[in-house]
Amino acid sequence: MNNLSASIASGSYGILMGRTGCGKTTIL
């Protein structure tokens, strides 16, 4: 379940932070 949660979290943050582009790399 951790993988699923991580994927969902990354996806959500990726969309929200995708505009800046910095948030995506920070999460990864």
Question: For residue range 1-28, what is the model confidence (pLDDT) as tens digits?
Answer: 566 666 666 666 666 555 555 555 555 5
Split into its structural domains, the chain has a count of 1
Specify the 3-state DSSP secondary structure of 28.
coil
Which residues constitute the domain of residue 5? 1-28
Largest CA distance in the chain: 28
pTM listed for this prediction: 0.26
Residue with tokens 């910095």: 22
At 10 the pLDDT is: 67
